[in-house]
């Protein structure tokens, strides 16, 4: 099976990748919180392992024209989303995934604040 090649310069394809990373991080943070694993702090090194696994799954059928940069963005988005959810879930808050993804793109300079 040939992989689809996505351009990291495509706003749509890049945004879709970031949304996937944010959703996977939110799922992990929720699982850790609801199943009691959140009592011990998960460090960025451990989170990077989960992010790399989510990246591996995401790229089973997709490759990027700049894979190193795409991978770096994916991991950064994953870590940011995880930390936001880790901070907010104990307060009963469920941050919006699209808002988190958009904020990340603005933070790294890939989008402008509307």
| 94, 88 Cβ separation under 8 angstroms | yes
65 domain-assigned: yes
| 85, 25 Cβ separation under 8 angstroms | yes
State which residues form the domain around 82. Answer: 4-107
114 domain-assigned: no
pTM reported for the whole predicted model? 0.89
| 26, 85 Cβ separation under 8 angstroms | yes
112 domain-assigned: no
- Residue corresponding to tokens 């989008």: 111
50 domain-assigned: yes
- Beta bridge partner(s), residue 6: 64
Which pLDDT score, from 0 to 100, does residue 12 have?
A: 94
Rounded to an integer, what distance in angstroms lies between the CA atom of residue 100 and that of residue 30? 15
113 domain-assigned: no
Which pLDDT score, from 0 to 100, does residue 3 have?
A: 87
Tens digit of pLDDT at every position of the chain (114 positions): 688 999 999 999 999 999 999 999 999 998 888 877 555 677 889 999 999 999 999 999 999 999 999 999 999 999 999 999 989 988 888 899 999 999 999 999 888 776
Domains of the chain: total: 1
Rounded to an integer, what distance in angstroms lies between the CA atom of residue 1 and that of residue 28? 29
21 domain-assigned: yes
- Residue corresponding to tokens 């850790």: 32
Tokens describing residue 107: 């933070």
24 domain-assigned: yes
């Amino acid at each position: 099976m040939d992989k689809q090649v996505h351009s990291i310069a495509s706003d749509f394809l890049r945004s879709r990748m970031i949304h996937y990373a944010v959703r996977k991080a939110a799922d992990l943070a929720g699982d850790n919180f609801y199943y009691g694993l959140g009592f011990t702090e998960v460090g960025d090194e451990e989170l990077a392992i989960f992010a790399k696994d989510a990246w591996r799954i995401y790229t089973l059928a997709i490759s990027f024209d700049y894979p190193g940069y795409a991978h770096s963005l994916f991991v950064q988005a994953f870590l940011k989303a995880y930390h936001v959810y880790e901070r907010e879930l104990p307060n009963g808050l469920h941050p919006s995934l699209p808002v988190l993804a958009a904020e990340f793109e603005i933070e790294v300079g890939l989008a402008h604040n509307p």
